[in-house]
Amino acid sequence: MAETLVPGITLTITKTVGHNETAAAYGSGLHDVLSTPAMIAFMEQTAMKAVEAFLDQGEGTVGTEVRVKHLRATPVGRLVTFRATLAEVSGRRLLFTVEADDEKGRIGEGTHERFIIDNERFMTKLREG
C-alpha cells in the first residue's frame, strides 16, 4: 500500500451536463437536469482519480459508502465542477469530502468512502463467487 496517501490530496474535474446524465435519461425523474445518480458517479470518479497516482502497482480503489445531498438542479449544457479531497486515511480506508458546483453555486456535497484493494485478488474473489 502506498505510503504517500495523506489527507489534503485534492482533484477537481469539470464536466458539461449532457442529455445522457439527466434525470429523464436515468429514469430517476422526468426533467432534463443533472440526475442525482450521475452527480454521485462523477463525485466517485473524481475521488477515485484523485488517489490513483499514489497507489502501488496493481492496486485500485472501490467505493463503499456515499453520503451526499443534491442541493439544486442543474440544466443540460451547464458546466459542473466536481471536487474530491482526501480527508482521512485509516489503513486501506479512504474518506473523501466531495463537492459539486455549477456557475450558480453549490449543487451537491457530502462524503464518500473508498477502500484500497489488490485488483487481481479482487477479481479472483469475484470469479470464485
β partners of residue 61? 116
- How far apart (Å, rounded) are the C-alpha atoms in residues 78 and 27? 20
97 has catalytic annotation: no
pLDDT tens profile 12-39: 999 999 999 999 999 999 999 999 999 9
44 is catalytic: yes
DSSP 6-65: -TT-EEEEEEE--GGGBHHHHTS-SSSBB-HHHHHHHHHHHHHHHHHTTSPTTEEEEEEE
pLDDT value at 2 more than 90 = no
Domains annotated on the chain, with CATH: 10-128 (3.10.129.10)
Active-site residue among 46, 70, 74, 112? 70
Query: Residue 16 catalytic?
Result: no
Residues 49-98 have pLDDT tens digits of 999 999 999 999 999 999 999 999 999 999 999 999 999 999 999 999 99
Q: Which of 21, 44, 59, 99 is catalytic?
A: 44
